Structure 1
Amino acid sequence: MPMLEIEHLSVRFSRADGPAIDAVDDVSFALDAGRVLGIVGESGSGKSQTVLSLIGLSARNARVSGVARFEGRNLLTLDERGLNRLRGNRIAVVFQDPMTSLNPFLTIGQQLIEPLVLHRRMSRRDARRRAAEALERVHVPDAARRLDMYPHEFSGGMRQRVMIAMAVITEPRLLIADEPTTALDVTVQAQIVELLRELNREHGTAMILITHDMGVAAGLSDEVMVMYAGRTVEHASAAELFAAPTHPYTIGLMNALPRLDDEGGRPLTTIAGQPPLPGETIAGCAFAKRCPHVAERCLTRRPPLERRADDGRAWRACHRPAAVVAEGLA
């Protein structure tokens, strides 16, 4: 049985000044222990809302439906007390902006110790020792001394390391990393990616990696789910998806990326048009108005997410045959 099973997850935001917004629309996936799932897509595609809804962090005007089983329990039916037993304990989150996620009025040590005292019932003395070990694990130098420092005394990269240490200090089964490298320069990004890879490899921590950076997804993920306008459009192993994408949107994302191994000087291409507006009613495929392969049925019939005929482990939501799309856009 998968550690995490998501079935028909939807998140709808009600608005007083307009139609409701379907931020996540009928998303399903499963994650086994020790595996890394990358969720990619442009801003507004529903990546963050998907995982925030799982741990009860959606906004008050959100209505979440579906099933989200974590170790056999449906997260969507747990009350606040039940969720608090899991958050920061069995499930941990690394947010994209460590400066706003860390409390500026508390030392790093105080913030690292709190989950150990709360979830592990450790004494503060033992918790402090474990906190220093956690900082050492994420390669923060002079860890014992830095426990008494405040967030503003750390660089951006070091603050992100502290966030990762806070997330893994209770040895969670599932780590959610929401854009963990967005605010960092490329050198620090590479260090954080390697650190996450190391935690997954050495401790068997399952991860959901949310990113708009296809390179980060390729470097960390075992499998990748591509989202567009709240829907899943393609889901496959990372190796297969990056070697041979089959959905027009995925191919468009790939063609917009610069490649170091491209000796022919291939020009970068953009995806024409704009994503649907929030609250816009979409009868057919959400990508239809931007797709170079659009047909009449794409505008009126929503393509179901189906297993690809040539690979039972890969999924796509497109009316066009995979071979036709790949030949026309590759």
Structure 2
Amino acid sequence: MVIDRLSVARIAAGLAVAWNTANDAILATGQDLLINDPTRLDGVRVIGVDEYVWSHTRRGSKYVTVIIDLTPIRDGNGPSRLLDMVPGRSKKVFKTWLEGQTIAFRDGVEVVAMDGFSGFKTATAEELPEATAVMDPFHVVALAGEKIDQCRQRVQQATLGHRGRSGDPLYGIRRVLHTGADLLTDKQVIRLKAVFASDAHVEVEATWGIYQRIVAAYRHPDPATGKKALYAVIDDLSEGVPTQLTELITLGRTLKRRALDVLAYFDHPGTSNGPSEAINGRLEHLRGTALGFRNLAHYVIRSLLDTGGFRTELHRHL
């Protein structure tokens, strides 16, 4: 299950035993030998916290809080790994998890990467007062991208009176708007200029311009220069934004409120929740392999065995 990522059904068939027999034995052994290893959390200095939808049914809570070890990514010596999954998504959930860890673990955590959810920020401040909270680039750029979409849809409705349809100018460039300026092809540049030539689309162009400045700041090879560039964006959005640019006003409020966390990334380069999103992708693959889960406790154990970083350890002993 850990090394070859086989499903329980395949393992049971190979061993010629019932599914329940194989499942009970595998989960119990994995829990005892791997998950309950008292040294499993040693050396964790950078963690990422995110939410994840584990169940797509209407029965019970469908969210879990996912805690990831990002230390190997920051140090450049390995992939991220899943540390735990906790039912629910709230400040209390993350705070309770942190309280349940050893003092040595909490004292060792230096950086916590997170999205814009204030609950994770507050829990970190209360339980890990010496750690630095970092609002990672993935979510900052995604937030700015959402504002482009909202602005485009608003202007589309105001100018044409309907949602985007094939052939509409703004709808036709919806994906191009999310492409970094340095990656645009000549054809895409021509399309953008043609749409922005209309005075009716000036608000979309202004929002797109802020999005590009944010992307460029994160892509700058010099962290200090990138930090100054993003600080300038936050400063520009803090006041004097025309009232009709409602999306940029709300973006500015969020970035100003979380400015220290946003800018902290440049002091801790490589600290991003991007690997957390990659872990979420692995968990989606696991759900597909198992054809879905009904038992959250089993799902947590299976997820830890699948993405908890045990494959390398087991390969060493083979």
Scaled by the length of structure 2, the TM-score of the pair is 0.28
- Which of 1 and 2 has greater Rg? 2
Question: Larger relative contact order (C-alpha < 8 A, sep ≥ 6)?
Answer: 2
Pick the structure with more strand per residue: 1
Pick the structure with more helix per residue: 2
Scaled by the length of structure 1, the TM-score of the pair is 0.27
